[in-house]
Chain A
Amino acid sequence: MDPGSGSGARAGLCSNRINGAPMYPCNGSGGKFESEIDGLLANAGYTVRASELAHVAQRLERLESVMGAVQDPGLSHLASEAVHYNPSDLAGWIESMLGELNPGLLDAGAVFRSQPPPPPAPAPGPAPVAGSGSGSGSAPFSDNSRLVGHAPLSEMDMDMALMADYGVNGGLQFNGNPHLPRAFTAEVPAAGVFSSVGEQQRRGMPNLVSAKHHRLGFQSAACEGDDEGSSVTQWGPVQQVPAVVNGDEGAQESGIRLVHLLMACAEAIQRNDLKMASSMVQEIRMMMRNPSGAMGKVASHFVEALARRIYGLNSPESSVGQADAQSELLYHHFYETCPYLKFAHFTANQAILEAVEGHDRIHVIDFNLMHGLQWPALIQALALRAGGPPFLRLTGIGPRQPDGRDVLQEIGMKLAQLAESVNVEFDFRGVMADKLDDVKPWMLQLRAGEVIAVNSIFQLHRLLYNDPSGSSPIDAVLKSVRSLKPKIVTVVEQEANNNAPLFLDRFTEALHYYSTMFDSLEACNLPPHSTEKLLAEMYIEKEICNIVACEGPFRVERHEPLSQWRMRLGSAGFRPAHLGSNAFKQASMLLTLFSGEGFTVEENNGSLTLGWHSRPLISASAWQGI
């Protein structure tokens, strides 16, 4: 029987007549090259489909490493008790070996052992792996089936994780028990799949998810006759193997693998191949059963963000402003645990102090008041000023609160009390605005004779969205700032390039940036599972979600590096004001308070950069109107 056409090299491999060796029949469904038996291995007595070669090679590798790790009793148990039907089916044999060597690693493994692969059907190579359903004409599924084969077990998992995470409440039929998928597969698998399809529909999950189930349901129906057991085997070992790899190859290796998976997933999204991307997300989640240190945490945040992007589960309020109690709590912990915000505040304060030297009436405009943590230090420093404190007026801009509280006034009152206790004349005004470009100069009520300082900590990058008419809010805002004629404008921004036009570039850059940030967080001397650390990480996670999962006006975390800000501010009519050596000294002193040894402060043409092991993370600069 002549092999089908196929492409040149492949066809050669698929020749079935070599030196008079017994001929293994090809898949009767028409000689598509991917379902033909590999001729060379056939010589050695093994049945392996050409399309499976890479897969089998990988599995062999893993089997080798696992066998090396398994202790003696395990191997001898294999010799005596394992039942291997059709050992000439190499792929199936490997899967069964892997299954035997890792009982109970994943719950599906238990199922696997109880249902050994069925005796070979008379039809050629039932090939339990990849469930191509042999002669039942489902060869067209052979490429997709591995993908789809992944789906049910992890889909269940993912669904429940999704529902737990995002509180989707479409009439939850599960009891929320994370072990439930196991119970499903322990029964007759095909039936299990069907009932899961029903569940999916009752729950009304997104269409993409249920479409997958439909496909698998159909597939199982097609294979029902002889593949009852095999549909389990197709799930079992495939799910197990990543866990094995993690355990054996060490944390760094698995970390690298995670990153590769994340990049591959991002590429799939860039190509708009959402099906592939979502299956990769599930792979990654599977891998994360064995968390691998800090990289695992970073990866978990990124994979959540990717999942949000794929399934479109964005909640708009996660991007607009930081206006609820939860965000405030996260902000507070982020302030406490890492030096970034403190560095920002103290450096900006130093610049303001030096600029307003000798003036008696000062008006500071803060682009985002938050808790006003920057200002007690300024008030205190002004109180200590030789010649007595000046009159300080503070205008704080903040977003509208969802519960209607006037946070600005509350913060203002606290600041006023503090100012009073240090004998500084103080006046506060709050301006409520959801977006900075809504604030017009007349709202700030400038008075004559006062010197103006504008302070923007991590705010300007939110304005970089290019709306369809072509203008950005940033231009308008810089223009109005310029019109105020401020004595000093302090700008602190993240030193990253997260605003590239291509999603993949943004993703790569964000991966670099936030992994460095997580490293620095690890080094801050906190107990490993402390609440403070978790909350600080959640703060960072929000930023990651915004960068990866949101688009258009909702994506507000559009970081740009200092060089680009210099150009923007330069063209808007500002010239740089050098931060003096006092600011540098103060920043270095501040860092000694944080036990992480890796923080570095660098001076860069008059601006200061805080970094972790020479990767800059935050940059602070000051500007004056020309």
Chain B
Amino acid sequence: MESKVQKVAGNSHASHAIFGNNVDILEEILKHLDAKSVGIVSCVSKGCQQAAESEYVWKIICTHICPSSVFETERLQSRVATMGGFKRLYTNFLHPLRSYSHHKHCSSLNEDVIRLSLSLFSVDYYERRLESLRTRNASNFKIHSGITAIDQSPDSCTDIVQKSMKENRRACFI
């Protein structure tokens, strides 16, 4: 199914010819895909990108990967929408946490992961709202740093400190 969509949508003339201004038809198709495919499709043309960024599509994607009906409540959906939308929730939080999910080949996430994602999402939303406060105050702040390392030495500081304590030498400068 996905390859067909990609083939068809690959030709932007073709996509315009088929879908015209009815991006919602494309959305209906995309909602059956997984997140990665939607990402691929969004690179094809402007119309595809617009369809791929719709909240409708991402809401369905998020609902599909949750075992419980967490995302199906109206309340939660409106909440997520206020806080920045499902696409942002998926890309920034659900997706990175998927690697933690125990059933890696299974596409659903366990509930703890979802709760954590939602909490982090709320912090993210809150921080964005705090931006205005912060940028107002930080405009005059100049960064004055000490010595910045030019080379990234692989030796860890902890090892260095421990080694030198063990050796117990005294620097002979006098």
Question: A residues engaging B (CB < 8 A)?
Answer: 54, 58, 146-147, 165, 251-252, 255-257, 259-261, 263-264, 276, 280, 283, 288, 291-298, 300-301, 304, 325-326, 328-329, 332, 346, 349, 371-373, 376-377, 379-381, 383-384, 410, 414-415, 417-418, 421-423, 508, 511-512, 515-516, 518-519, 522, 528-529, 531, 534-535, 537-538, 541, 582, 585-586, 588-590, 592-593, 612-613, 615
Contact = CB atoms under 8 A, between A and B. Distances in A.
Given A256-B160, A515-B157, A58 B174 contact: no
A259 B161 contact: yes
Given A260-B169, A410-B133, 9 more contacts: A252-B155, A259-B160, A297-B146, A328-B137, A332-B134, A414-B126, A421-B82, A518-B157, A589-B113
A261 B171 contact: yes
B141 to A, nearest CB: 5
A329 B134 contact: yes
Contacts of B151: 251, 291-293
Contacts of A165: 144
B147 A297 contact: yes
B145 A329 contact: no
A325 B138 contact: yes
Given A259-B164, A589-B116, A291 B148 contact: yes
27 contacts: A165-B144, A255-B155, A259-B161, A261-B173, A283-B173, A292-B153, A293-B152, A293-B153, A294-B153, A300-B146, A301-B146, A304-B146, A328-B134, A328-B138, A380-B122, A384-B70, A384-B115, A418-B125, A421-B82, A421-B83, A518-B157, A534-B143, A538-B145, A589-B97, A592-B96, A592-B97, A612-B158
B173 A534 contact: no
A256 B167 contact: yes
B75 interface: yes
Contact of A293 (B121, B127, B155, B158): B155
Given A293-B151, A297-B146, A346 B157 contact: no
A520 to B, nearest CB: 9
**Is the contact region of chain B dominated by helix, strand, or loop, or is it mixed?**
helix
Interface in B109-134: 112-113, 115-116, 118-123, 125-127, 129-130, 133-134
Nearest to A285: B147
A625 B14 CA distance: 71
Given A418-B122, A515-B160, A518-B157, A534 B115 contact: no
A312 B156 CA distance: 31
A508 B165 contact: yes
Given A376-B126, A380-B119, A418-B125, A512 B160 contact: no
A531 B154 CA distance: 21
B69 interface: no
A252 B96 contact: no
Most buried by B among A257, A371, A373, A422: A422
A609 to B, nearest CB: 16
B99 interface: yes
B88 to A, nearest CB: 15
B130 A414 contact: yes
